[in-house]
Chain A
Amino acid sequence: MDMPRAGWGNGRETVMRKAANRKALDLKKNWPGYLLIAPAVIAVLALSIYPLFRGIYLSFVNYNLVRPKDPVFNTFAGLENYRKIFANPIFLQSIGNTVKWTVVNLAAQLLVAMILALALNQKMKGRSLFRTLVLVPWAVPHSIAAMTFTFLYNANVGIINILAVKLGMLTQSVSWLGNIDSAFWCVALVAIWKGIPFQMIFILAALQGIPDSVYESAEIDGASRWQSFWRITLPIIKEPLAIATILNLIGILSCFNTIWLMTGGGPLYSTEIIYTFAYREAFINHNFGTASAASVILFLFMAVFSWIYLRMVSEKEE
């Protein structure tokens, strides 16, 4: 009963692949396989691929729900929606905020996650307990985290203000989330707090795959820990690290709940990223056309990273 798996070759030759393709056409033998994947494929097509194209299409259509009787409603608009959003200073600000948001989150999460993973990779007592406990922020739902920190930042009852005033660091309570200078950083801090474990899990998994003998032989050769980190550890974990970073990046770009529930994009749009802008356009201003256009811009951002991710994953498989 010879039935190698098609298209999964680990270094399989092209000839073999062609033979496999020919085999795949042998419907008599493989029809149950097609039947098995059909429901999932149909679901993905109907629930993801079709709405994606419909969304892209909407970005080229006049679709302002505030004026459904407008004669141009649901007609082709060309690039009008894009022209509108790029003429909107709030959208331009949201692009800047998105870049700032991404860089701040990613840099902080990568750095802390790396140190934490290295620490957890040491032979500590109670390591598995520690490992579980540091994952808690990741497991907590986004909206719960947002509510919790809104409470902690609160000017009247928040512990941060209470302690800061008590310790004499502040003379009076500060409305952290209502202040243009602090709101962005306070929300970013929550996203960082919540994002570190995810990034850390991947780094730790990669670190645990490195055998001790590698370090031992490096030590014999006289390499310091610092040197062996840069010359051995980093090159080995480079690939999983990159993959995790890109996955994390996509999460950071679509971090809607935390921002929306804490500040709603405010004050004065200082925490507005493209995602919240698109949401505001669609479900508060009821203009699906411009909202789709903004979402497509966000999608383009993400598509670049997704493409790199796919390239890495499939290269690994070849």
Chain B
Amino acid sequence: MLTKRQKERLRLTAAYLFTIFMVVTAMIPFVYVVLTALKTPEQIYDVGQIIPTYVTFENFRHVIFESNFLRYFFNSIFITLVTMAVSMVLAVMAAYGLTRYHILGADKIKMAVLMTRMFPGILLCIPYYIIMKQLRLIDSYVGLVLMYISFTLPFAIWNTCAFFSTIPWELEESARIDGCGRLTAFFTVIIHVAKPGLFVTALFCFMSSWDEYMYASIFINTTLKKTIQVGMQDFIGQYSVDWGLLMSAVTLSLIPILLFFALVQKNLVSGLSAGAVKG
């Protein structure tokens, strides 16, 4: 029979082992991606070169200077930032209105907004195609941003409401007693207190539009207007794939995501679950 202390240690060891196993599972595909990006085509097909004996930056050079990669990259950055900005402004306004004023059926509005998150993208995509054609918004970033807002905005509203409703009304009141106008009180108190939550919400808007593939592949036809997720398919030829190029493009495209990820990781757990669970 094990003593309590031994049991405790056994449990902790098991926890370590499982966690490390999961970390390795999570990371190893990308380690191999980066390794492949650093290989010459001959090395990629060489079984003895799983870990390359010498590295080349030729793939990265080619992707950056001789392909449309950077163009796609900045197209995506642009679309994503616009989507994020519009969603956040609309969401903050709506959340302030919903939490700080008496709105008829406020909780019904919130529920309806939440429900739109559950609509399957393909069901919206088909009518979008007809609508965008009528509005002449096919192959246009305006159209694409509008469609992206359809899934980022409901999420942003719901999450922002969750953060705003945790801020006590008294906090704002006391600012106003101190002589602040309503607008000043909003910016100095609410935005200040809800900042971490708003930051996480904005990040999710960014990530979900950066991730989007289906709408972009259907609605953007001009090569130079493609987003990064669609543009990456350029490296996949019809009959053969240049794996070295593709894998260096994959590596480069992950940089902004990892950057944002590092920035936000402290608030990630609370930020993601707040909106879904608390409401």
Which chain A residues have a beta carbon within 8 Å of chain B's beta carbons? 1, 3-8, 20-21, 23-26, 29-30, 32-37, 39-41, 43-44, 47-49, 51-52, 54-56, 58, 112, 115-116, 118-120, 122-124, 128, 130-137, 139-144, 147-149, 151-152, 154, 156-157, 159, 162, 165-166, 193, 196-198, 201-202, 204-206, 208, 225, 239-240, 243-244, 247, 250, 253-254, 256-257, 260-261, 275, 278-279, 282-283, 288, 291-292, 295-296, 298-299, 302-303, 305-306, 309-310, 313-314, 316-317
B277-A202 in contact (CB<8A): yes
A34 to B109, CA, bound (A): 12
- Minimum CB–CB distance from B253 to chain A (whole Å) comes to 6
Contact B16 A124 (CB under 8 A): yes
B238-279 contact mask (Cβ, 8 Å, vs A): 1 or 0 = 000001001100100110011001100110111011001111
- CB pair A8–B106 under 8 Å, yes or no, is yes
Q: Which of chain A's residues has its CB closest to B177's CB?
A: A1
Is the beta-carbon distance between A51 and B19 smaller than 8 angstroms? no
B124 touches A51 (CB 8 A): yes
What chain B residues lie within 8 Å of A1 (beta carbons)? 173, 176
Residues in A neighbouring B128, C-beta threshold 8 A:
51
| B107–A314 CB distance below 8 A | yes
What is the distance, in angstroms, from B270's C-beta to the closest C-beta of chain A?
7
Q: Which residues of B contact A130 (CB under 8 A)?
A: 19-20, 23
Cβ contact within 8 Å between B18 and A115 = yes
Known interface pairs A30-B103, A39-B93, A54-B127; A201-B120 also in contact (CB < 8 Å): no
A257 vs B229: C-alpha distance in the bound complex, in angstroms?
A: 10
Q: Is the CB of B127 within 8 A of A310?
A: no
17 new A-B contacts, CB < 8 A, other than A54-B130, A295-B126, are A5-B100, A5-B169, A6-B106, A39-B94, A44-B153, A47-B150, A139-B261, A152-B32, A205-B272, A244-B273, A257-B214, A275-B120, A302-B120, A313-B276, A314-B111, A316-B279, A317-B279
Lowest 4 CB-CB distances: which A-B pairs, in order? A33-B101, A36-B97, A40-B94, A306-B118
Output the least CB separation between B147 and chain A (Å): 7
Which of B's residues lie within 8 Å of A, judged by CB?
Answer: 7, 11-12, 14-16, 18-20, 22-23, 25-27, 29-30, 32-33, 36, 44-45, 47, 50, 90-91, 93-94, 96-107, 109, 111-116, 118-131, 146-147, 149-150, 153-154, 157, 165, 169, 173, 176, 207, 210-211, 213-214, 218, 229, 232, 236, 243, 246-247, 250, 253-254, 257-258, 261-262, 265-266, 268-270, 272-273, 276-279
Assess A201 versus B268: contact at CB under 8 Å? Given A119-B19, A157-B44, A254-B120: yes
Contact A253-B120, Cβ < 8 Å, known A47-B147, A51-B128, A243-B277: yes
Given contacts A144-B253, A282-B125, contact A43 B14 (CB under 8 A): no
Residue in contact with A52 in the complex, picked from B18, B98, B119, B154, CB distance below 8 Å: B119
Question: Complex: how many Å from CA A7 to CA B111?
Answer: 12
By secondary structure, the A interface counts as: helix
Q: Do the beta carbons of A5 and B229 come within 8 Å of each other? A: no
Q: How far is the CB of A121 from chain B (nearest CB, A)?
A: 8
Q: Can you list 10 A-B contacts with CB-CB less than 8 angstroms, sorted by A residue number?
A: A3-B102, A6-B101, A8-B165, A55-B123, A132-B265, A147-B250, A148-B29, A201-B268, A278-B122, A288-B129
- Complex Cα spacing A190 to B118, Å: 23
Q: Which residue of B lies closest to A49 (CB)?
A: B116
CB within 8 Å for A7 and B44 given contacts A142-B211, A205-B273: no
Inside 8 A of A296's CB, which chain B residues have their CB? 123
A288–B94 CB distance below 8 A: no
The reply to whether B120 and A298 form a contact with Cβ atoms under 8 Å apart is: yes
Q: Is the CB of A37 within 8 A of B18?
A: no
Contact of A299 among B12, B22, B120, B157 (CB under 8 A): B120
| Residues of the A chain whose Cβ atoms lie less than 8 Å from the Cβ of B261 | 132, 135-136, 139
Please name the residue on chain B nearest to A316 by beta carbon: B279
Contact status B106-A7, CB under 8 Å: yes
Chain A residues contacting B154 (CB-CB under 8 Å) are: 44, 48
B278 CB to closest chain A CB (Å) equals 8
B112/A8 in contact, CB under 8 A: no
Report A221 CB to chain B, min CB distance, Å: 15
B18 touches A136 (CB 8 A): no
Report yes or no: A256 in contact with B165, Cβ–Cβ below 8 A: no
For the complex, give the distance between the alpha carbons of A307 and B210 in Å.
29
B146 in contact with A37 (CB, 8 Å): no
Smallest distance from the beta carbon of B172 to chain A beta carbons, Å?
9
Point out the residues of chain B lying under 8 angstroms from A166, CB to CB: 47
Nearest chain B CB to A236's CB is how many angstroms away? 13
B23 touches which one: A6, A134, A156 (CB < 8 A)?
A134
- A165 — which chain B residues lie within 8 A by C-beta? 47
Contact in complex: A137, B26 (CB < 8 Å): yes
Q: Which residue of B lies closest to A288 (CB)?
A: B126
Inter-chain contact B23/A133, CB cutoff 8 Å: yes
> Nearest chain A CB to B75's CB is how many angstroms away?
15
Distance in angstroms from A60 CB to nearest chain B CB is: 13
A7 to B103, CA, bound (A): 8
Most buried by B among A37, A159, A282: A37
Q: How far in angstroms is the closest Cβ of chain B from A90?
A: 16
